[in-house]
Structure 1
Amino acid sequence: MPSIPQGIRAFLDQARQDVQSVLERDPAARSATEVAMLYPGVHAVWAHRVSNHLWNAGAYLPARAISQAARAITGIEIHPGATLGPRVFIDHGAGVVIGETAVVGADVTIYHGVTLGGTSLNPGKRHPTVGDRVTIGAGAKILGNIEVGSDSRIGANAVLVRSVDPDSVVVGVPGQVVARGGVHTARPRFDAQDRNAPDPVGSAVQELLTRVQRLETEVNGEAAPEGIYRPVDGVWESTDFSI
């Protein structure tokens, strides 16, 4: 029986790792066959490995042709010049854009609507570098030649334009680091869209309303009704926000 060429063997080994990583991360995945046949994020990564090989070999036109065909089929655009590490999982995937000089580490999870984009016309490095085991929530934008440290989590719809250290939690527009540090296991974490994530905007609003309440106390000699401006478990329940 003829041996399998080394390049094809490496591709198949990576493909098996990709499928296994999806089974571990996506509770909706029922079988390896389902993942291999029906997951557009997996197909986009596989197509990118082929186009990236051609790009690095100087076959730019065929590389772009493959990447554009993959975009048409999967809705995911990965420039053939981008570098993806092993076991990158693009979940759902619609609207994901990864630019030419982007570098994505191992075991990264990317949800739909994410952009790893550039902010300049500089032909050099102009896209983000994402470390290992990073989770990027739906709709997040990471822009420019910045670095996202390993084990970080980027919240849904965050817009990150500056580098962040490893093990950071980033939310908001522009992206703010609201937590850093913690205990990790070998398994990646996938709670970037956790409803209990810190809310820096809500905290700022609450602080402003607290100051208004203090001013009312000083001016009127009596405090405003306690709790009228405060959220309950992070949810603004009251309909009376008049001052």
Structure 2
Amino acid sequence: MFRWVKTMREDIQVVFDQDPAARSSIEVFLTYSGLHAIWAHRLAHNCFKRRLFFLARVISQISRFFTGIEIHPGAKIGRRFFIDHGMGVVIGETCEIGNNVTIFQGVTLGGTGKEKGKRHPTIKDYALIATGAKVLGSITIGEHSKVGAGSVVLHDVPPNSTVVGIPGRVVIQDGVKIKNDLDHCNLPDPVADRFKELERELAELQNELKQLKERKIESGHPTL
């Protein structure tokens, strides 16, 4: 019992550490849905480990109804896990989440099909997954890594990296910029960059075609 109380106090303190809007312990205790979802999951996970699968799912579904956060009872979650806001968060059965991990609303830690066994992501300590990101499959997000808002990550992410885009690509690793730093309002867009590159190539081809036409006309052959 004492361990549970200690863990709940630790969870409340994480909210104060992560959310500047938190004003009092009673406010956090009563109104933070992410906190309620984590506590309900711990209860459901204990039932799941005791093979009380139906009871575990009932607890998780009641929690989902009240919080808008769906965490499968089988997911393994470490200490000081923080869900900011949280509506629409989905965490799959074989997910493994380390300590001091932060995720935002709309995040999906899901699978990619009907495969058996380990089919959901492993999120290492101190990772951050921003709003609306999708991390899919049995992949690993390394320690201290960040996943940008709206990104879709399908491959392993090394430690100390920042990933953005669809599909997710590493833009910072070990403090060295590969593209740009994580900015929720101005993320690099690899797809848009590729379109710009194609537009430049198209403009070059059009210019070459124009020059060929002009040379044909000058040589007395107006048609190609």
TM-score, normalization by structure 1: 0.78
> 1:136–1:192: 8 Å Cα contact kept in structure 2?
no
Task: Tell me the secondary structure at the aligned position of residue 23 of structure 2.
Answer: coil
**In the alignment, is the contact (CA less than 8 A) between 1:18 and 1:88 conserved in 2?**
yes
Amino acid in structure 2 at the alignment position of 1:72: F
2:169 is equivalent to residue 179 of structure 1: no
Unaligned runs of 5+ in 1: 1-7, 184-190, 222-243
Pairwise mapping of residues 105-124 of structure 1 onto structure 2 (< 5 A)?
A: 105-124=98-117
CA distance in 1, matches of 2:84, 2:39: 14
Q: In the TM superposition, what is the alpha-carbon distance from 1:179 to its structure 2 partner?
A: 1.7
| Alignment: residue pair count | 207
Partner of 1:150: 143
Q: Check conservation: 1:81, 1:101, Cα contact below 8 A.
A: yes
Q: Is the 8 A contact 2:77 2:96 kept in 1?
A: yes
Identify the residue that residue 91 of structure 2 maps to in structure 1. Answer: 98
| Equivalence for 1:234 | none
TM-score by length of 2: 0.84
> Which of 194, 203, 213 is the aligned partner of 1:204?
194
Query: What's the counterpart of residue 214 of structure 2?
Result: none
Contact 1:44–1:76 (CA under 8 A) maintained in structure 2: yes
Q: Out of 90-99 and 115-124, give the one that drifted further.
A: 115-124
Q: Is residue 105–residue 130 contact of structure 1 (8 Å, CA) maintained in 2?
A: yes
Aligned 8 A contact 2:151 2:163 in 1: yes
The structure whose Rg is larger is: 2
**Partner Cα distance (2:175, 2:146) in 1:** 12
Across the aligned residues of Structure 1 and Structure 2, the Cα RMSD in angstroms comes to 2.0
Cα drift, residue 175 of structure 1: 1.3
Matches within 5 A, 1:224-239: none
**Aligned residues of 2:166 and 2:191 also touching (Cα < 8 A):** no
Q: Give per-residue Cα distances to partners, 1:118-156, cap 9 Å, x unaligned.
A: 123233111110111111111111111111111111111
Per residue, is there more helix in 1 or in 2? 2
CA distance in 2, matches of 1:110, 1:34: 21
Task: Confirm whether residue 43 of structure 1 aligns to residue 36 of structure 2.
Answer: yes
